[in-house]
Amino acid sequence: MLRNFGLLGAVLLGLALSGCATAQSPEAAAENDPLEGVNRASFHVSVALDKAAARPVAVAYRGVVPRQIRGGVRNVLNNLGSIRTFANDILQGEATRAGTTLVRFVVNSTIGFGGLFEVAEDYGYPRHFEDFGQTLAVWGIGEGPYLFVPLLGPSTPRDLTGSVVDFFFDPFTYVQWGDESYVPYVRTGLVYLELRSSNIQTLDDIEASSADFYTSLRGLYRQARNNEIRNGAQEIDDLPNF
Amino acid sequence: MRNGAKSLAQQTMKSGLLAAAVFLGLAAGTGATFASPATEKYAQETIDRGYVILNNDALSRPQRAEQFREFMLGTTDIRRIAIFTLGQYANSTSPADMEDFVKAFTDYATAVYETRLGKYKGQTLKVTGSNNRAADDSVVNAIVVNPTAPSANPIRAAFRIRAGAGGKSIITDMQVEGVWLAINQRSDFIGFLQQNRGSVPALATNLRQQVITLRGGAN
């Protein structure tokens, strides 16, 4: 629990620091990245750690564990994430999407053997993701400055806050095995292992074709995140003229 | 955050298809009329032409790459995209440096296209509708269809089509799952320029190095 308050403290610190932003270039202002110096340092440390540990582990996981098993792990994790998505569907007033999420969870948990198999999609219930960061955006809360959080990656104070709330939304946060509460840690580890292993080549390609890997990821994050918040709806009014 | 990262990763994974497509600034003589149905038809036909080359198994890899290069260069206003990606730095770049950059960018775009798009061979793209920003500025929406793995959640794509010189239709950008590629490329390049005292020649050199890496990996 202390760890969670620590994270919350980090979010608040980030918000406070954002108020201390000094002069920035017009382009940095456009990207809303007043902490770029700190963020870049965090980025470089994270990339170094990734190459030293996370990527090799992900490569080994991908090389050793058969694809079918990895797919099953991914499906189970996605199914568990449905609880968070359902809560945020409701909070965003998206009744239809909440219904879809509920049906998906029930179908995949039963016919799909505890989420091991993704069968709801075959019945016409496609997967989508929601989190409390998106809910805050739907409620009109601004994102705040761009942050690159060590080991976690691109974020904003709004999304970090959302992550904390989602952590408490998640019933598995409170699951204990005997006297130990390592279940959420195992699950979190698997989530990141699965995420990293699924994107080894992708991130390699992005890095190889980026003039500035940091800003390339920042731009991808911004656009992708806004697309998630809009639930994929096309937004054409703010496109640059060229 | 977890979902955000996941979605980001999903989009970037899909962006292989797209990386080249940014540079499909495909120009075609469809006339000055810019009604959405005509624009959608233009987008569909142009992309289909590209996929005919991509999916032609009779071509060797070098042949396919060469045909794609010709297809791109014959139909693309790469200069327009290149200048856009420089952002504010385009205004302070000398004509000579700009010419050099456009050349480097063209080679870079082609290399990215050659190496990445090949991974998505066999897929097709179906236009689903469009929105007009202005009389000469439309966004055509589409979905990417993988015949071997149909999904209830197909990848969403879009093309921004503008009227170019002589009223020709030009695709100036491509979007996949919400990510506009030329816009992201501009962020990338401007980030580099900020870190390198605004040196466009340094960026051109960087792009040339990337071409060597990309083509080396492709061979």
Q: Is the pLDDT of residue B27 over 60?
A: no
Tell me, yes or no, whether A6 lies in a domain.
no
Tokens of B124: 């097709």
Whether B146 shows a pLDDT value over 90: the answer reads no
Could A239 and B160 be called an inter-chain contact, meaning their C-beta atoms sit closer than 8 Å? yes
Considering only the beta carbons, identify the residue of B3, B180, B191 that sits closest to A223.
B180
Q: Do A216 and B194 touch (CB under 8 A)?
A: no
Q: Minimal CA–CA distance to A66: which of A196, A197, A199?
A: A197
Nearest chain B residue to A149, by CA: B1
Task: Inspect the interface and report whether the beta carbons of A199 and B9 lie closer than 8 Å.
Answer: yes
Number of domains in chain A: 1
Mean pLDDT, consecutive 10-residue stretches, chain A (242 aa), reads 40 40 49 91 95 95 94 92 94 95 95 92 91 96 94 93 90 73 83 91 88 93 92 86 84
The answer to whether residue A7 is domain-embedded is no
pLDDT of residue B42: 87
Crossing angle (nearest 10°) for helices B61-75 and B95-117: 140
The answer for A 78-117 residues in CB contact with B (under 8 A) is: 81, 85
Distances (CA, A) of A162 to A38, A166, B112, B168: 22, 6, 36, 46
Closest Cβ–Cβ partner in A126, A199, A216 for B152: A126
Mean residue pLDDT of chain B comes to: 77
Residues of chain B with Cβ-Cβ distance to A160 below 8 Å are 1
B183 touches chain A (CB under 8 A): yes
Residues of chain B in contact with residue A232, where contact means CB-CB under 8 angstroms, are: 156, 177-178
Nearest one of A30, A229, A63 to B8, comparing CA atoms: A229
B117 — pLDDT class (breaks 50, 70, 90): low
Question: What integer pLDDT is reported at residue B6 of this predicted model?
Answer: 41
pLDDT digits (tens, 9 = 90+) for A36-94: 999 999 999 999 999 999 999 999 999 999 999 999 999 999 999 999 999 999 999 99
A210 touches chain B (CB under 8 A): yes
Beta carbons of B8 and A220 less than 8 Å apart:
yes
Chain B contacts in chain A segment 2-41 (CB below 8 A): 25-28, 31
Specify the pLDDT at position B191: 92
- Measured between beta carbons, the chain B residues lying within 8 angstroms of A228 are 3-4, 7, 178
Q: Nearest-CA distance from A177 to chain B in Å? A: 24
Is B187 in the A-facing interface, judged by CB distances under 8 Å?
yes
Examine the pLDDT at B11 and tell me if it is beyond 50: no
Shortest Cα distance from B173 to chain A (angstroms)?
Answer: 10
CB–CB contact A211 B207 (8 Å): yes
Residue A234 within any structural domain of the chain: no
Question: Which pLDDT belongs to residue A119?
Answer: 92
- With CA atoms as reference, the chain B residue closest to A207 would be B210
Residues in A closer than 8 angstroms to B203, CB to CB, are: 211
Q: Looking at the complex, does the CB of residue A205 fall below 8 Å from at least one CB of chain B?
A: yes
Distance CA B93, CA B84 (A): 13
Give which of B184, B203, B214 to mutate to test A binding, by max A Cβ within 10 Å: B184
Q: A234–B160: do the CB atoms touch at under 8 Å?
A: no
The boundaries of the domain holding residue A84 are 33-229
Asked whether this complex has an ipTM greater than 0.90, the answer is no
Size of chain B, expressed as the number of residues it contains: 219
- CB contact B203 to A (< 8 Å): yes
